[in-house]
Chains A and B, each alone.
Chain A
Amino acid sequence: MAKSKGASMKITVGEPVGVVAAQSFGEPSTQMVLRSFHSAGMSSVVTTTGLPRIIEIIDARKRLSFPVMNIRLEKGSEKNYEKAKDVKRRVEGVKLGSLMSSFEENLKAGTMAVHLDREQLQANSLTIKNITDRIKAKFDGLETSSEGDTLTVKHKGKRDIRSVRTAFVRVRNLTVSGIEGIGKAVIQQDDNGNFYIVTAGSNLAGVMEVPGVNKNRIYSNDIFEVQDVYGIEAARNLIAHELSKTISDEGFTVSFKHIALIADAMTYSGKIRSAGRHGITGDKTSIFARAAYEETVKHFVNASVFGERDMLKGVAENILIGKQVNVGTGRIKLAIKKEDLKKIKSASD
């Protein structure tokens, strides 16, 4: 509507805000770069950015290509580097493979000798005992012994090469310290001199239990994990925040209202739904709306078996049958009293 001085700044009743949001959001994405995995700041952890990240969110993908966490330190110790190092050590997932200088496998004998790197062990404040305990806890059919810096793993059960080998590979990939699901962790400092830790991989519930962590300021970019731990409202905020961040990182401005609407649309049902075939559009009650989108035949066939009805309330189905749509000016109906109509008729005759 024409808006000028004195006119309302309020949104017009009936405005198809969904379409406006989708257009406002979609239009700049045309100008975005497709392949941009580069990290924003050079020294931070690798994340998905640009269009791929947006699609990841809109699709509501369960497995992110690069989950990332942002861990703040407890109040009072934000500027304590030692504390930060301590938290980092507790959080960072260290694989056995990264602690060794070399290894030898003897598949016939079912043994593997792992030569540990003393420096690496110390850097992660680990002892050989930690490792053997960890292996014992995680694997049943393995025996461990150590001599100096060499750790020997012996496969007990029957010795077919395949199972021996898979077991050894799994041992080398074993997370010996840190939190499940978290890989590399990096300490960073913000403008206020506070230290915080950025991790590749995400595990909210696990990190929360780490001493020294400010439980109220943990950030994860994994929408589903946030939903599981904090609930749907938090997930909605995260979707909106992540979308908005990604868009503005690319140098575009889109009103937060549009982004919030998309986030609300994805979450208002109480669970996260993608904007697609298996999400919002796929859940629509209208058969026509679904059929006009994707998988046309499937929807018609199923509808006929179950005797479904299309109540013709949405936009797509009304366009299809040639009726005025139920949004915007199409919502406004003119009502007239019967008597008045008669009066008009008689007057015009």
Chain B
Amino acid sequence: MQAETIDYIRFTTISPEMVKKMSVAKLIVPDTYNEDGYPIDGGLIDQRLGVIDPGLKCKTCGGRAKTCTGHFGHIELVRPVVHPEFAKTIYLLLQSTCESCHRILLDEKQMEQFKPVVRDLITTDIIIEDNVETEGKLAMLTKKLKSVKKCPHCGVPQQKLKFERPTFFYLNGNKLKPDEIRDWLAKVSDDDLSYLGIDGKATRPEWLVLTMLLVPPVNVRPSITLETGERSEDDLTHKLVEIMRINQRLEQDIDAGAPQIIIDDLWELLQYHVTTYFNNETPGVPVARHRSTRPLKTLAQRLKGKEGRLRYNLSGKRVNFSARSVISCDTRLGINEVGIPIRLAENLTVPFYVTKWNIDEGKKPLASSTWPCEFNFIGKDGMRKRVTDLTREELLAAIEPGQILERQLIDGDLVLFNRQPTLHKFSIMAHRARVLPGKTLRVNVSITMPYNADFDGDEMNIHVPQSLEALAEARYLMQPKDLLLSSRDGRPISFLIEDQIAGIYLLTKDGAEFTKDEACLMLSNVGIRELPKPLKNGMYSGKALFSLLLPEDLNYTGKNTRGNVVIKNGELVEGIIDHKLIGGGGALLTRIFYEYGADFTSDFILKASTMALRTDYTHGLTVSIKDYYNTPETNREREAIITEAREKVKTLLENYKSKKLESLPGYTRRETFEMLTIAELAHARERAVGYLNKTLNESNNAYLMATIGARGSLLNMAWIKMLLGQQQVRGKRPARGYRGRVLPYFERNSNDPVARGFVETGFMDGLAPLQMYLHAMGSRDSTMTKSLVTAVSGYLQRRLINALQDFYVDTNLSVKDASGALIQTIYGGDGIDPAMTLVEKDLSK
């Protein structure tokens, strides 16, 4: 598929000669267009540098805007300037060499000593992976060179060299001009350079002081025409114009014999412009700005950071053959499917490789003018022809093996399905397309977990694989049915959720019975045509109905939240199927997956959820406000809970004040008091939960859902029915606001728990304005914290991936990195896929 042509990429610096060789034009006019709006010859938009206007031809290669890749030009600087990015390197070089004879400041003996170190660095093509030792010695060397007082070669004492950011050098307090630096560096021999690890053939140090400036082609810095017809130049062009302008003035002044001060001033100005041209964020340099005071984006800024060339354009690439839409749910789709709106399917194409075996299959859509039809026809010569009503007949006749057709997306095509943020590999999976009416992408709710998707307006993307390699990867490595077990911890990624859990519970709970009509409806929904054996009263037990979904030879014993679950020969004998087995815990799903395979499992999930939903319809499951009505007794209990909590806090406070309260080890007494108080007040909520658990029963649907793990929790119910309890800000009780009090309503330094964020009512009774305020404080705090966590953990993940991305498993199951370094002798100590964690556990039972 790809021709491997690049062995390696070497970085060097460019010599002035090289600049001249690369350049097609010496630029002399510090301007862009003339009055007629035509590029000036020798200006920055010189047509020899390539063209961006669609009408013009490149004067170098004759290409048009689309075909010409652009050519470099150059500016000859009248006076050399220091390349700002290399200033540090220049400093190192000046420090390491003699100011008089320009030899390296090492005596013969030392030279011998460092020779082998240096040879390692220069001569080996492949840099030694772990050259800690070499690097250490090199660092030692540069340190040593700094302290040399007298040149060992010519005996001249070395004066104090000072480097001032960004580009200034002083020798004994006298400024070193760039041309002096250049002369100095030019006299350092290649051999001496090698002691510093610098290859004189790649980088001659005098090249680090610029005499020529390479000017990038125009299509690197395109000018844009605004609606008003006004031209707006790229930041780089602006900068280059300024460099040229100063360069020209400097030249004129030199020629006119202007005083040295004026020349030096201009020279420094030229240095400034060159500095900001390379990097407009150089420390110690005022930022060059656009007329609108916006800082200019110069070379370094183009490369750097998230929006820079490397991360934005090179590590991430734009694609075609993709689509995006809002998602919604469809319980009739399997977990391995995705519903695609017809309008998308009409516009997405899939390559169809014509062979002698599938030629007829290819003809069908070719003959059609409505979906599914064909768009393009790629002949053996690679010529692409559009299929239209005019060409259809002709192309139909010409079809033969070896050609490629591009047809519209149809049912069964594999597409990649993705939701951002793409945090793990389960955020992009390959689904089978099902072309549907409507405008949204449709998914089964059971597969929302790995994508972390919901249907409150979420949008997702699809990508259509175009090459056979891509298709093969999607087919064999990316389908949800095959990826059922997460590589994080071996738990299923797809399982029943929410009302499906409720449905399965209602279906399989003890004593669940259904009439023949209900049973028939339920079974026909999942494509089962036979009824199980009825009970004595003519009804059908839910357990028996569910058992029809199970493989006949399945034997399983496990535990749900309430007790044991026994499946004997495909018959659910005892226990309720709940979320531990078929939800997030997925114990039963795991077993079915490895015993009966991917297809069976994904089918099972679909059928189980369909049956569960059917049960929901039959049984009915509504949460109403009635579920949250309080009996007088509940209200009394709430009062009791509050009184008790207040009592306890009061005693705590008394103990604290009378110094009876002993500080917990490691904490001050004040901290101890706070901790115990919070614990006491938190306990109030626990008591409320405990009370609800004791008094409510399954006739309360909200309670039912909470206990079986379908949705909500008893804590949620306690919040509504009883009390919200202690609110926290930054992990503590609210404390700030006004002097000595959180809100002006309270007394100063009040010891009332309410004054410190204890909310005594629930949503059912409603919150008093004050308590609502306190609750809002807690909510705000948690919202803010959450938004911070995403940034922090996002960066953590980026760091980890960058550090570990090169690791792979070798053929002997060892883990190696890109350079071949051994990380682990056998992956994970046993070479077993972490996705198999639960399977391993189940098997060893």
Residues of A with Cβ closer than 8 Å to B? 1-5, 9-30, 32-39, 42-46, 51, 54-55, 58, 184, 186, 200, 253-258, 260-262, 264-265, 268-269, 275-276, 279-281, 284-289, 291-293, 296-297, 300-301, 303-316, 319-321, 323-324, 326-329, 331
Given contact pairs A2-B482, A3-B482, A261-B815, A10 touches B789 in the complex (Cβ within 8 A):
no
Taking a contact as CB atoms under 8 Å apart, the answer to whether A312 and B6 are in contact is yes
B488 at the interface (CB under 8 A from A): yes
Residue contact B203 to A314, C-beta cutoff 8 Å: no
Q: Please tell me if the beta carbons of A19 and B801 are within 8 angstroms of each other in the complex.
A: yes
Q: How far is the CA of A300 from the CA of B309 in the complex (A)?
A: 13
* Complex CA–CA separation, A224 to B785 (angstroms): 31
Residue of B nearest to A303 (CB): B11
Whether a CB of chain A sits under 8 angstroms from the CB of B127 is: yes
Pairwise interchain contact A43-B804, C-beta atoms closer than 8 A: no
Minimum C-beta distance from B6 to chain A (A): 6
Closest 5 CB pairs of A and B: A307-B202, A18-B807, A18-B804, A26-B797, A257-B828
Name B679's closest neighbour in chain A (CB-CB).
Answer: A42
CB-based contact A58/B796 at 8 Å: yes
- Bound-complex Cα distance A299 to B844 (A): 51
The 8 A CB mask of B1-27 against A (1 = contact, 0 = none) is 110101111111100000000000000
Q: Which of A13, A284, A291 contacts B811, CB < 8 Å?
A: A13
When chains A and B are docked, how far (Å) is the Cα of A296 from the Cα of B313? 14
Q: Chain A contacts of B89 at CB under 8 A? A: 301, 305
With an 8 A cutoff between CB atoms, is B810 at the interface? yes
Cross-chain contact A301 with B86 (CB below 8 angstroms): yes
B310–A58 contact, CB under 8 A? Answer: no
Which B residues, 283 to 315, have Cβ-Cβ distances below 8 Å to chain A?
300, 303-305, 308, 310-311, 314-315
Q: Given that A18-B808, A296-B310, A310-B9 are known contacts, is A4 also in contact with B788, CB under 8 Å in the complex?
A: no
Interface string of B591-615 (1 = CB under 8 A from A): 0011111100000000000000000
How many B residues touch the partner, as a band? Answer: 35 or more
| B229 at interface, CB cutoff 8 A | no
Contact, CB under 8 Å: A253 / B85: no
Residues of chain A within 8 A (CB-CB) of B593 are 4
Stretch of B387-395, B621-629, B817-825 lying at the A interface: B817-825
B666→A306 contact, CB < 8 A: no
11 contacts between A and B (CB under 8 A): A4-B598, A14-B809, A26-B800, A46-B667, A51-B796, A253-B491, A268-B823, A297-B300, A304-B13, A312-B9, A315-B806
CB closest residue in chain B, given A39: B666
Q: Name the interface residues of B505-563: CB closer than 8 Å to any CB of A.
A: none
Across-interface contacts of A296 in B (CB, < 8 A)? 300, 303-305, 308, 310
Q: C-beta contact mask, B56-67 vs A, less than 8 Å → 1, else 0?
A: 000000000000
Q: Which A residue's beta carbon lies closest to that of B824?
A: A264
Contact at B797–A29, with CB atoms within 8 Å?
yes
B681 to chain A, nearest CB (A): 15
Known: A257-B834, A321-B6. A304 touches B11 (CB 8 A): yes
Contact B8 A312 (CB under 8 A): yes
Residue in A closest to B483 when the chains form the complex, CB atoms: A2
A109 to chain B, nearest CB (A): 34
CB distance from B276 to the nearest CB of A (A): 14
Is A261 a contact of B731 with CB atoms below 8 Å?
no
B179 nearest CB across to chain A (Å)? 21
The answer, yes or no, to whether B487 is at the interface (CB within 8 Å) is: yes
Judging by beta carbons under 8 Å apart, are A5 and B199 in contact?
Answer: no
**Given the interface contacts A10-B833, A27-B424, A38-B731, does A279 sit within 8 Å of B666 by beta carbon?**
no
Pair A34/B792 contact, Cβ less than 8 Å: yes
| B680 to A: closest C-beta gap in Å | 12
Contact of B11 among A44, A200, A265, A300 (CB under 8 A): A300
Q: Are A54 and B839 in contact (CB under 8 A)?
A: no
Asked if residues A30 and B476 are in contact (CB atoms below 8 Å), the reply is no
Closest to B93 in A: A305
Cβ contact within 8 Å between B799 and A1: no
A293-B487 contact in complex given A268-B823, A285-B129, C-beta closer than 8 Å: no
Collect the chain A residues with CB atoms within 8 Å of residue B666's CB.
39, 43-46, 184, 186, 200
Quick check: B315 and A306 within 8 Å, CB to CB?
no
Which residues of B lie under 8 Å from residue A2 when comparing CB positions? 476, 479, 481-482, 597-598
CB of A319 within 8 A of CB of B827, answer no
Which A-chain residue is minimally distant from B14 (CB atoms)? A304
Interface status of B145 (Cβ within 8 A of chain A): no
Contact B804 A297 (CB under 8 A): no
Whether the Cβ atoms of A307 and B808 lie closer than 8 Å is no
Cα–Cα, bound, A186→B794 (Å): 37
Q: Are B833 and A11 in contact (CB under 8 A)?
A: yes
Interface centre among A303, A307, A311, A326 (most CB of B within 10 A): A307
User: Which residues of the partner chain A approach B822 to less than 8 Å between Cβ atoms?
Assistant: 268
Indicate if B805 sits at the interface (CB-CB under 8 A).
Answer: yes
Which of A16, A23, A288, A293 contacts B808 (CB under 8 A)? A16
The answer to whether B804 and A305 touch across the interface, beta carbons within 8 angstroms, is: no
Interchain nearest-CB distance for B479 vs A (Å): 8
A313–B818 Cα distance when bound, in Å, is 5
- Is the pair B730, A35 in contact by a Cβ cutoff of 8 Å? yes
| Nearest CB in chain A to that of B482: its residue | A2
Least CB distance from B192 to A in Å reads 15
Bound-state CA distance A319–B796 (Å) is 21
Chain B residues near A289 (CB-CB < 8 A): 802, 806
Min CB distance B838 to A, Å, is: 10
Separation of A315 and B807 alpha carbons in the complex (Å):
9
How distant is the Cα of A281 from the Cα of B423 in the complex, in angstroms?
A: 20
* Other A-B pairs, 10, CB within 8 Å; known A257-B829, A304-B11, A316-B315: A13-B809, A22-B801, A38-B731, A255-B828, A260-B824, A292-B314, A306-B202, A314-B818, A319-B314, A327-B808
Q: Using Cβ atoms and an 8 Å threshold, which residues of chain B touch A20?
A: 425, 487, 834
Interface residue from B424, B664, B821 paired with A23 (Cβ < 8 Å): B424
Cβ–Cβ contact A308 & B11, under 8 A: yes
Q: In whole angstroms, what is the CA distance A285 to B821 when docked?
A: 12
Contacts of A26 in B (CB 8 A): 423-424, 793, 796-797, 800-801
B840 within 8 A of A: yes
CB distance from A191 to the nearest CB of B (A): 19
Measured between beta carbons, the chain B residues less than 8 angstroms from A300 are 11, 303
Rounded to whole Å, the gap between the CB of A273 and the closest CB of chain B is: 9
> Are B279 and A24 in contact, CB atoms less than 8 angstroms apart?
no
Q: Determine whether B661 belongs to the interface, using a CB cutoff of 8 Å to chain A.
A: no
Given contacts A42-B679, A309-B8, whether A320 and B314 have CB atoms under 8 Å apart is yes
Q: How far is the CB of B530 from chain A (nearest CB, A)?
A: 26
Cβ-closest chain A residue relative to B301: A297
Cα distance A303–B304 in the bound complex, in angstroms: 16
Chain A's closest residue to B832 (CB) is: A9
Q: Give B303's nearest chain A residue, CB to CB.
A: A296
Q: Determine which of A23, A37, A284 lies in contact with B797 in the assembled complex, contact meaning CB atoms within 8 Å.
A: A23
CB-CB under 8 A from A307, the residues of chain B are 10-12, 198-199, 201-203
Chain B residue nearest to A286 in the complex (CB): B818
Instruction: Collect the chain A residues with CB atoms within 8 Å of residue B224's CB.
Output: none
Q: Does B489 contact A (CB under 8 A)?
A: yes
Bound Cα distance A304, B827 (Å): 37
Q: Which residues of B have CB within 8 Å of A287?
A: 9, 11
**Which among B125, B675, B792, B833 is the interface contact of A9 at CB below 8 angstroms?**
B833
The residue from B311, B815, B834 contacting A255, defined by CB atoms under 8 A apart: B834
Nearest residue in A to B678 (C-beta to C-beta)?
Answer: A38
Task: Indicate if B341 sits at the interface (CB-CB under 8 A).
Answer: no
CB-CB under 8 A from A328, the residues of chain B are 808
Chain A residue contacts of B491, Cβ below 8 A: 253
- Whole-angstrom CA separation of A39 from B675 in the bound complex: 11
* CA distance in complex: A36, B815 (Å): 35
Among A9, A311, A324, point to the contact of B840 (Cβ < 8 A).
Answer: A9
B800, A58: Cβ atoms closer than 8 Å = yes
B808 with A54: CB separation less than 8 A: no
Which residues in B have their C-beta under 8 angstroms from that of A286? 818
Residue B130 CB within 8 A of the other chain: yes
CA distance A81 to B10 in the complex (A): 68
Q: Which residue of A lies closest to B837 (CB)?
A: A255
A327:B806 contact, CB within 8 angstroms: yes
